[in-house]
Structures are given as C-alpha cells and as structure tokens.
Amino acid sequence: MKRSIALILLTTMLLALTATAPRGASKEPVRARHGVAASVNEIASRVGVEVMQRGGNAIDAAVAVGLALAVTWPSAGNIGGGGFMMIRRADGATEIIDYRERAPLAASRDMYLDGKGDVVKNASTVGYKAVGVPGTVAGLALALSRHGKLKWADVIEPARALAAEGFTLNHQTARGIQGSKDLLSRFPESNRIFLRSGKPFEEGDRIVQPELAQTLARLKEKGPREFYEGETARLIVDDMKANGGLVTARDLKEYEPAIRVPLKGTYRGYEIVTMPPPSSGGAALIEMLNVLEHYDLSRMGWNSSAELHLLVETMRRAFADRAEFMGDADFVKVPVSGLISKKYADRLAQTIAPDHATPSESVRAGKPTGYESTETTHFTLIDDEGNVVSNTYTLNNSFGSGVTAQGTGVLLNNEMDDFTSKPGVPNGYGLLQGEANAIAPRKRPLSAMTPTIVLKDGKFLFAIGSPGGPTIINTVLQIIVNIIDFGMNIQQAIDSPRIHHQWMPDSVRWEPLGVNSDTRAALVKMGHTVSDKPGYIGDAHGVMVEPKTGIRLGASDPRLGGAAIGY
Ligand code: GLY
C-alpha cells in the first residue's frame, strides 16, 4: 500500500515537472543564458563556447568548431571536404555559404565506367580518383570574413593546438577509426597516421597529428589561400600526380565557394528556412512538409502505424522526384519552385492511400511546374546576440576516399560518388540518381545535406541538421514534425527513434527499439517492406530559443555521443 502511494506521488511529481509538453523520458536540453555550441564531439563544442566567451560571435565560433572537428572527428570533420553553412544574423538576414566540393576540370561524365559501360567497383568511392576539389577552408574563411569578428589566426589556433598537442580519443572517435580500418590501411599515409601501421588507436589513447598541425600552422600564418595556392596545395597536387588523382594546381587555385539564398517554405504556420541546390535536402524537406500538412499527425499519434505509413509514402514520393530532377542548379535546370509549391503537394497527397503502400516500382517522379534551381557531421551554434549558424560538412563516406595527402595530414573526400556514375545504378548510399546529376568539370555533386532554421512569427525558434547521406533529409523532417506536431522539446525531438525510406530500394529502415513488432506487422500488412534489421539513422545537433524567456536550449544527439555546451 505504502509503495503504491509512493509510486503515485512520484508519478505526479514527474508529471508536474514535465507538464509543459507531452514527452517521454529524455534529458532536458542544455539551458544557457548566452550561447550554445552543439556538435558530435565535446572537445569541439567546447572550442566553440570558448571562442564565444572570448568575444567571438557564433560565426567565429562555428569556424573554430569546423576546424577543430577536422582534428577531433576525423571521419567527417575536415579541411579536405566541403559543406554548407547557413548563417542567420541577429538582424534576421540569412545566407548560405556553399563550400561544396567541385568536380576537377579533368572529370567527365563516364569516368567511372569501364569499356563495357559498367560502373567500376569502388572507383568513385575509394582512392585518389574519388576526390573532389575541397571547399572547406575557402568556405569557412568566407563565412568569417563576411560575418565574423575575430581574426582567422585566432579561430584556427585551437585546432592547430589540438593537432600538435594531441587529445584523448573517446569511445566514438576510436570506434570510427577502427570501423574504417580496411579503408585506411590501403593508403600508407592514412595507415601510418590513423592505424599506427597496424596498431589502431583505442579509446583513451592520445592521438597527435604533427603533419596536420603543420598544415594548420601554415594556414594560420599565411591565411586560407595557402591551402589553394601555397605549400599545402603543392603537397596535395604532388600526391595526386603520383597516384593518378585528377585534382590539379589549377583546380585548387580556381576553387570558389558560392553564396546562396536559402529556400523558404511553411509548415502549419512555421517558416522553414533551408538549403537550396546543390543540395536536394531543402527542396525535398519542404515538399514533404507540404504533403504532411494535409494530415492531422498528432491525432494519429507519434510512431503509430498510421503516422509512419504517411511518412513513408511522403518520403517515397519526394525521393523519386529527387532522383529525377535534382542536380547542381548552376549546371542544370531544377524545378525547385514547382517541387516546393503547395499545389504540387496537393496533387501528391491525392495519390497516397490511407491504408496501403504504393510500391516504389509504380511511383515515378511527379510533374512539378516552374523550372528555375554515412558520413558527414553537423553542428549548430547560437551566440549572445542571437546570431545562429547551422552547418553540415563532410568527406562523404567515413574517412572519405581513405587518402591522406602525403605530408599534409589532410584526409581527402570521396565526394565524386555523390554524382551519378551511371543513371539507374545505385551509388554508395543505394540512391538511384539521374541525368541532372551527371558528372561535369567544376560541377558540384548533388547533396542531401540540409542545414535548416525554423522561425515562428518571424522570430528564430530552432536550428537543426544531421549527417547520414539521404537519411539526413528524413532526419530533419522527423525532428521538425516531432517539435511542431507532437510538442516535443528539441532534445526529445532529436532523441526519438526515426525511420527512413528513399523510394529505391523500396524498404523502410528503422532504428533499434524504434518501431515495435506490432507496428512493423501493421506496416507490412499495409504492403510496406520493412528492413529485417534496424540500424541508427542520423546524428542531429540543434539549438532553440525558449520563446518566453529567451534562454538558449542546446541539444546533441545521443547516437554518437555528441555534446551541447552552453554558457
Ligand atoms: N555526401 C553526402 C551528402 O552530401 O549528401
């Protein structure tokens, strides 16, 4: 009797504590008065907070985090890759720095096909030929010069020091290195640095990266152009020449990031500010939100078979459109305005049956009108003034091409695999891609990276993004739905299990303990194919401003052990 009263009291107390919003057990977001940095790696998040505490703004801090992750999260943090940085200044002005890699000048449409026209296995994913011209250093430097307060030398110093003095590997970073052993062992420089020539690092080991420290020291002293025209460029190009890579001195010298205007949409009265081409992410996200607006998801219940069915049907259609229409809008026409129009969503919603799946075989891209334009990492920051950065960048696959350019300590991307090697043949993510994303010199490969900001009544509410190849788009989608439809706080919205469908292969992916067997059976009964085994999806990091108090809330994904740190 006493025990049951105690239980009731405890339950009532917990309910009272959490009464503001219906949510399951999840830790509270990090609360901070001034600023927050949320990333996959605690050391890097701390670098971001320290930069803000020293008087830097969110952009200064984001650049420092990006450079620090190149040291502490080598599987995806990088200076040898590329990405997208969305910046929303405190005055509301928003722009995107597009520092996506570009195809080298010597690249060509069929460069990964053999004499018979078949895709050569691993040609676009492993080794020197898979490398696109890196954009990270130029992109971070451009962000800093346009919006930062601190000097380049100040924001690069924490990364240099981490590379020179070393840091202790946590479980996740060590596991990442061990998981890529086969790839890294194929390239002598990567084998030596990350695998200690046969003695892979373990959790708790200290890793020092002297060549990377020297590269960062040169960049610190000579400025970001050093990467593209100085000793670092020379080392990269020499290594490329010696190993059949395509990136030349001219490719590096002529690399330029681009400034993009964000795509905008709405969802149930919230404004969605997101990533335009060369990412497919923003257009697909808005297209899916427009379709979901036709349904009362909260009445169906979170993770009910009815809600999951609608998510899958919506994802299926948006990914069919992605395969058909999406590419670098500087090179091909992408019907963005048609894809994100509410009218187009009305038509798509009419094709969705409430009680049974549409096989992907019978789903083809729609007819939008109005032509115009697994491993990655995301970090999000907000500062005291209210400047926000939502940044996703990548080497593409974990540790990219596997190549560390001789003498630089710089891991190089394998972003060329994000192009269409051959229409109709799946890439490394199992994605079917189309002619719009064919390889061409200087073109940017199609991305799924989706740094996104959500506003309410014109005011910043939250910012989010994730790695995960195509799963990025669906991760961001579900976090937005979790917050807007299901009233979750940003931490729980990130923590909650996700699903993924990408049209082809026609299979619903789900997370461990994420969809119970009853619900899976209900989905199968509706005609869905559900993958046999679960696996984790995405790794999101976000910030939010609590509307009533202005308190900054930070949330980091538990999936890879990240950290949100506030001050
Ligand atoms: N490399 C993954 C993406 O850009 O989507």
pLDDT by residue (tens digit) across 487-528?
999 999 999 999 999 999 999 999 999 999 999 999 999 999
Q: For residue 99, how far is its CA from the centre of ligand 1 (angstroms)?
A: 12
Q: Which of 472, 475, 539 to mutate to test the pocket of ligand 1 (most atoms within 8 A of CB)?
A: 472
The total number of residues shown for the chain amounts to 567
Would you state the pLDDT for residue 7?
Answer: 45
Q: 195-209, 229-243, 426-440: which has the minimum mean pLDDT?
A: 426-440
Would you state the pLDDT for residue 23?
Answer: 57
- Long-range CB contacts for residues 259-264, cutoff 8 Å, separation at least 24: 259/95, 259/96, 259/97, 259/98, 259/142, 260/84, 260/95, 260/96, 260/97, 260/98, 261/95, 261/96, 262/86, 262/94, 262/95, 262/96, 262/453, 263/336, 263/340
**CB-ligand 1 contact for 418 (6 Å cutoff):** yes
**CB-ligand 1 contact for 398 (6 Å cutoff):** no
Would you state the pLDDT for residue 368?
Answer: 64
Q: Answer yes or no: is 142 within a domain.
A: yes
Q: Answer yes or no: is 374 within a domain.
A: no
Q: Answer yes or no: is 243 within a domain.
A: yes
**CB-ligand 1 contact for 101 (6 Å cutoff):** no
pLDDT by residue (tens digit) across 356-405?
999 888 887 666 654 432 579 999 999 999 999 999 999 999 999 999 99
- Model confidence band, residue 295 (pLDDT cutoffs 50, 70, 90): very high
Residues with Cβ within 8 Å of 565's Cβ and at least 6 positions away in sequence, in order, are 30, 36, 37, 38, 42, 45, 46, 48, 49, 554
Q: Answer yes or no: is 92 within a domain.
A: yes
Q: Is the pLDDT of residue 21 over 60?
A: no
Averaged pLDDT, 63-90: 98
pLDDT by residue (tens digit) across 315-343?
999 999 998 999 999 999 999 999 999 99
Q: Which of 418, 431, 437 to mutate to test the pocket of ligand 1 (most atoms within 8 A of CB)?
A: 418
Q: Answer yes or no: is 297 within a domain.
A: no
Would you state the pLDDT for residue 480?
Answer: 98
Q: Answer yes or no: is 542 within a domain.
A: no
Nearest-CA residue for atom 4 of ligand 1: 447
Catalytic site residues? 376
Averaged pLDDT, 11-32: 61
Nearest-CA residue for atom 2 of ligand 1: 469
Segment (H or E) for 61? helix 58-72
- Between β-strands 167-168 and 206-207, what pairing exists: parallel, antiparallel or unpaired? antiparallel
Would you state the pLDDT for residue 427?
Answer: 81
**Does the predicted model carry a pTM greater than 0.75?**
yes
Q: Measuring CA to CA, which residue among 180, 139, 208 is closest to residue 403?
A: 180
Query: Whole-number mean pLDDT of the chain?
Result: 93
Residue position matching structure tokens 């060549």: 211
Q: Is the pLDDT of residue 12 over 60?
A: no
Q: Answer yes or no: is 105 within a domain.
A: yes
Averaged pLDDT, 247-251: 98
Domain count, the chain: 1
Would you state the pLDDT for residue 369?
Answer: 56
Averaged pLDDT, 298-308: 97
Task: Say what percent of the chain tops pLDDT 70.
Answer: 94
Averaged pLDDT, 439-462: 97
Q: 350-359, 418-427, 525-534: which has the minimum mean pLDDT?
A: 418-427
Q: For residue 547, how far is its CA from the centre of ligand 1 (angstroms)?
A: 33
Q: Answer yes or no: is 205 within a domain.
A: yes
Nearest-CA residue for atom 3 of ligand 1: 447
Segment (H or E) for 113? none
Q: Is the pLDDT of residue 10 over 60?
A: no
The first and second tokens of residue 102, run together, are 């570009």
**CB-ligand 1 contact for 376 (6 Å cutoff):** yes
Q: Which of 99, 125, 378, 394 to mutate to test the pocket of ligand 1 (most atoms within 8 A of CB)?
A: 394
Q: Is the pLDDT of residue 14 over 80?
A: no
Nearest-CA residue for atom 1 of ligand 1: 396
Q: Is the pLDDT of residue 19 over 90?
A: no
**What are the E-state strand segments in 29-151?**
30-32, 36-39, 82-88, 94-98
Q: Which residues form the domain of 136? A: 32-259+385-437
